[in-house]
Copies of this chain bind each other. A is one copy, B any other.
Amino acid sequence: VTAMMGSVSPRQKAALSREEKKAQTRQKLLDAAATVFAHKGFAGASLDDVADEAGLTKGAVYSNFASKEELISALLEQRLGQPSLAFPKLISPHATQAEQAEQAAHMFMNLLANERETYLLDIEFMLYRARNPGMHDSTNYVARRDEIARTMEARAAAEGFELPMPAKDLTTALFAIGMGLALERMVNEEHVPEDLFGRVLGLIFGNVQPAGKDKRSQPTGKDKR
């Protein structure tokens, strides 16, 4: 039934083509879905909620997605699938371990502050998968983890220190720590001070002997409180 013309298709008039408009609608729906699902959960949010949030009707949802489940999948893929969270490359490579830990922790905390929705979705989806084993991972966990693991290994080799445990396990642990602290912080902000993640990182990496030199960089942790 659908024509589904090849790639470009010549267009003379201005304004949006049908295809472009549809893509725009789809994106509106996905954005709305992110907000609504983060606030109410996959099971708790209705497609009416999503459509209202997008300023559209439920029919628009079914015109763009086959079912509620497919909307969820598409959302997760778009929001969690890319290695956008794979920020370790952004960290200055030549700083001390303590400085790098602090930088990483800072970036993480910023991300958490600005992308609360994303974390809620991520955790919700992990729960969902814990309950429905065998489901496809739309978030590309393994790919994201392995990319970071490789980056860390390369850094360690280049800078001449040893990671405190195999890179994949380390990355898994760091993800888990971030997730756990994020969850606790979202529930009760004052339980998880801004710098806690950084201090934990400092302890974990603090054990790293810089191979040659005996520069024991203990990040001190301003432990007032």
Q: Chain B residues near A206 (CB, 8 Å)?
A: 207
A40 to chain B: closest residue by CB: B131
Report yes or no: B165 in contact with A192, Cβ–Cβ below 8 A.
no
**Is A60 part of the binding interface, using a Cβ–Cβ cutoff of 8 Å?**
no
**Residue in contact with A225 in the complex, picked from B166, B177, B187, CB distance below 8 Å:** B166
Q: Tell me, rounded to whole Å, the shortest Cβ–Cβ distance linking A75 to chain B.
A: 17
Report yes or no: A123 in contact with B131, Cβ–Cβ below 8 A.
no
**Residue in contact with A177 in the complex, picked from B44, B176, B199, B207, CB distance below 8 Å:** B176
A181 to B126, CA, bound (A): 12
Report yes or no: B120 in contact with A131, Cβ–Cβ below 8 A.
yes
Q: Tell me, rounded to whole Å, the shortest Cβ–Cβ distance linking A143 to chain B.
A: 13
Number of A residues near B (Cβ < 8 Å) is: 49
Report yes or no: A169 in contact with B225, Cβ–Cβ below 8 A.
yes
**Residue in contact with A127 in the complex, picked from B124, B173, B188, B221, CB distance below 8 Å:** B124
CB 8 Å contact bits of A28-51 with B (1 = contact, 0 = none): 000000000011110110000000
A218 to B178, CA, bound (A): 24
Q: Tell me, rounded to whole Å, the shortest Cβ–Cβ distance linking A113 to chain B.
A: 14
Q: Tell me, rounded to whole Å, the shortest Cβ–Cβ distance linking A194 to chain B.
A: 12
Q: Chain B residues near A180 (CB, 8 Å)?
A: 175-181, 183
A196 to B164, CA, bound (A): 12
A-B contact pairs, 23 of them (CB 8 A): A40-B131, A41-B131, A43-B44, A120-B130, A123-B127, A126-B184, A126-B186, A129-B187, A130-B187, A165-B199, A165-B223, A169-B225, A173-B200, A176-B183, A176-B192, A177-B180, A177-B200, A179-B179, A179-B180, A179-B183, A180-B181, A180-B183, A203-B203
A interface residues with partner B (beta carbon < 8 Å): 38-41, 43-44, 120, 123-124, 126-127, 129-131, 141, 145, 164-166, 168-169, 172-173, 175-181, 183-184, 186-188, 191-193, 196, 199-200, 203-204, 206-207, 218, 221, 223, 225
